[in-house]
Amino acid sequence: MKILKNLTIRTEDVLSSYSGKLGCMCGCNGKYSYNSQNRDLASKDRGYAVGDDDINDNSVKRMVNKFNKLEEVLVDVNKDGSISDYVFIETETRINCIYLKKGTIPYIKI
């Protein structure tokens, strides 16, 4: 895990967001919301079609605004040293996560 400081996320770079209780992130403990701008990319990323009922642009925008107000967010570091295409924050009881287009993090303003 690595801390990213003063991250600026653009809504157009977001595939989806997740908000839920700590633990499993399959969707049983929370909700995924998908960005309509990137429906095709998100469908390919998750392996099946993102339906109309999965799209919630308002929820995605709220999560982006929340993250952009934070001084620090977390990103996972892979064994090869590369970083994940998602950023997240955790509290004692919840996790919030934003999944980005592949390759976005090296280009975002940090």
**What is the residue type of 9?**
I
pTM for this structure? 0.91
Q: How many domains does the chain have?
A: 1
**Host domain of residue 13:** 2-107
Q: Is 20 helix (H, G, I), strand (E, B) or coil?
A: strand
What pLDDT, in 10s, does the model give residues 12-67?
999 999 999 998 888 889 999 999 999 999 999 999 999 999 999 999 999 999 99
Residue matched to tokens 């009881």:
93
What pLDDT, in 10s, does the model give residues 67-101?
999 999 999 888 888 888 999 999 999 999 999 99
The pLDDT value recorded for residue 106 is: 66
Tokens of 21: 């209780």
